[in-house]
């Protein structure tokens, strides 16, 4: 069989623990036999991040800016325990945070839906994609405990020394205080990423905030989206037959539950954090959730939404076989290969990505699943080990 040729390499970011093991299985069994794979390889495994003083993460991010499409394995974000476990020089930052800061992107998360796994919400027949703004608000807030009565003020001193001052509250006793911020540049690039992603995936875009209560902060988000839409995207949306729709977050929640899915729901940082867990759980499992970082100028980084599945890895290291779900990691590869095919005009590559996804879903629908899916399937199913599951996919891919 002739392997499918590629022209531009993918940026390949290897990772840690169980997902690193699965990464190799996927490449060896499901990709290399079919595609003459070209990648620029970056080892983001924690050992190599430490050895390169995290330089490898920055290089991988820059390569993504240059080549346009990356596929990333899950990586450990070090904490104190990991510093000891790996004897790290420093507690390196989250690789995803570093890459996101470099690409200035928005993260889109979508469930992988299969007919035999029914969402908790009956009406959801198509996936709902959450677009979460990944900067500011409560994640960058400054907080002060208030110990006794006094006046809390919000002051801003601009670059010319002009001062704006507002009273937050006159405390008559103990309390708490919090200051939040966001940047117009970040809100604008969030908006552009969302509009671009809606166009490439041909889905309607919803956006919701609490602008009725937050008349300046949330209103700025609403107006920024509105003005960028009117000026830069309206005609393209009309041509594509998709729509942009803003509504108050309370109303959005009710509409989402009543909907059939099939759209993108853009949310501020905290709302997106919370709603993505709700939506992914209602669709089934974190192991069936894809994640793609899209920059405002259209660079893509594909990955699974879950982590390195540490508990399974420790069992694997003891010589046990595990039944770890590789579906989201397979879809990270197929997403990246499809996008590369689209950008380089290689229809065969995009068709291979479709076939790989179909073979994966067919396997699940035939009742061959990993252990985590067993309680979720509505058909008689058998749980198999990861390597058996991947072989079952390969069998369906080859015919
Ligand atoms: P996790 O790796 O997502 O795993 C949490 C639990 O969820 C697992 O123990 C397993 O449950 C289940 N699970 C997740 N993915 C699965 C899969 N593919 N197949 C089967 N079960 C799956 O999260 P974590 O244990 O909190 O984090 C582990 C490491 O991953 C941490 O070092 C963290 O920094 C990193 N992390 C990386 C990313 C990323 O790179 N994007 C994201 C999140 C976390 P059972 O054990 O009950 O089977
Ligand atoms: Mg969360």
Per-position DSSP letters for 186-233, written without gaps between them: HHHHHHHHHHHHHHHHT-EEEEE--TTT-TTHHHHHHHHHHHHIIIII
Give CA–CA dist 264/194, Å, rounded. Answer: 8
The alpha carbon dihedral of 182, 102, 78, 283 has a sign of positive
Query: 381 in ligand 1 pocket by Cβ < 6 Å?
Result: no
End-to-end CA distance of the chain: 12
pLDDT digits (tens, 9 = 90+) for 112-135: 989 898 889 989 999 999 999 988
HSE-CB for 153 with a 13 A CA cutoff: 9
For ligand 1, what atom is nearest to the CA of residue 74? 40
pLDDT digits (tens, 9 = 90+) for 286-340: 889 999 999 888 899 999 989 999 999 999 999 999 999 999 999 999 999 999 9
- Is pLDDT at 1 greater than 80 in this prediction? no
For 318, phi and psi rounded to 5 degrees?
-85, 5
For ligand 1, what atom is nearest to the CA of residue 327? 18
Closest ligand to the CA of 139: 2
pTM value is 0.89
pLDDT digits (tens, 9 = 90+) for 81-91: 999 999 999 99
pLDDT digits (tens, 9 = 90+) for 17-26: 999 999 999 9
- Residues sharing a CB contact under 8 Å with residue 101, sequence separation 6 or more, in sequence order: none
For ligand 1, what atom is nearest to the CA of residue 329? 18
Query: 75 in ligand 1 pocket by Cβ < 6 Å?
Result: yes
DSSP label at residue 377 = B
Residues with CB under 5 A from ligand 2 (ion): 273
Query: 97 in ligand 1 pocket by Cβ < 6 Å?
Result: no
pLDDT digits (tens, 9 = 90+) for 206-243: 999 999 999 999 999 999 999 999 999 999 999 999 99
Residues in the chain: 399
Q: Quote the pLDDT of residue 103.
A: 86
């Amino acid at each position: 069989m002739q392997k499918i040729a590629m022209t531009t390499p993918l940026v390949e970011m290897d990772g840690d623990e169980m997902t690193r093991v699965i990464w190799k299985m996927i490449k060896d069994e499901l990709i290399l036999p079919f595609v003459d794979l070209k990648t620029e390889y970056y080892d983001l495994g924690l050992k190599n991040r430490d050895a390169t003083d995290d330089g490898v993460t920055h290089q991988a991010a820059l390569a993504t800016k240059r080549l346009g499409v990356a596929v990333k394995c899950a990586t450990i974000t070090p904490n104190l325990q990991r510093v000891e476990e790996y004897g790290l020089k420093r507690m390196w930052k989250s690789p995803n945070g570093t890459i996101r800061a470099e690409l200035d992107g928005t993260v889109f998360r979508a469930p992988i839906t299969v007919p035999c796994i029914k969402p908790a919400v009956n009406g959801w027949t198509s996936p709902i994609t959450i677009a979460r703004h990944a900067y500011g608000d409560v994640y960058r807030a400054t907080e002060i405990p208030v110990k006794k009565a006094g006046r809390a003020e919000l002051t801003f001193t601009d670059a010319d020394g002009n001062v704006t001052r507002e009273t937050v509250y006159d405390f008559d006793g103990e309390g708490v205080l919090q200051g939040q911020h966001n940047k117009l540049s970040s809100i604008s690039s969030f908006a552009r990423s969302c509009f671009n992603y809606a166009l490439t995936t041909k889905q309607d875009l919803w956006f919701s905030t609490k602008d009725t209560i937050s008349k300046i902060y949330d209103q700025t988000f609403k107006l920024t989206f509105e003005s960028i839409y009117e000026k830069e995207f309206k005609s393209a949306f009309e041509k594509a037959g998709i729509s942009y729709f803003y509504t108050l977050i309370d109303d959005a929640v009710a509409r989402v539950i009543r909907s059939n899915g099939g759209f993108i729901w853009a949310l501020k940082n905290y709302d997106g954090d919370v709603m993505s867990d709700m939506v992914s759980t209602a669709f089934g499992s974190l192991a069936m959730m894809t994640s793609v970082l899209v920059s405002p100028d259209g660079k893509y980084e594909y990955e699974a939404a879950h982590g390195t599945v540490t508990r399974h890895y420790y069992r694997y290291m003891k010589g046990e076989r595990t039944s770890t779900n590789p579906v989201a990691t397979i879809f990270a590869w197929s997403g990246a290969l499809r996008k590369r095919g689209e950008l380089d005009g290689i229809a065969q590559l995009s068709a291979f990505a479709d076939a790989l996804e179909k073979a994966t879903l067919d396997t699940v629908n035939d009742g061959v699943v990993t252990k985590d899916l067993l309680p979720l399937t509505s058909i008689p199913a058998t749980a198999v080990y990861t390597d058996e599951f991947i072989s079952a996919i390969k069998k369906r891919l080859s015919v």
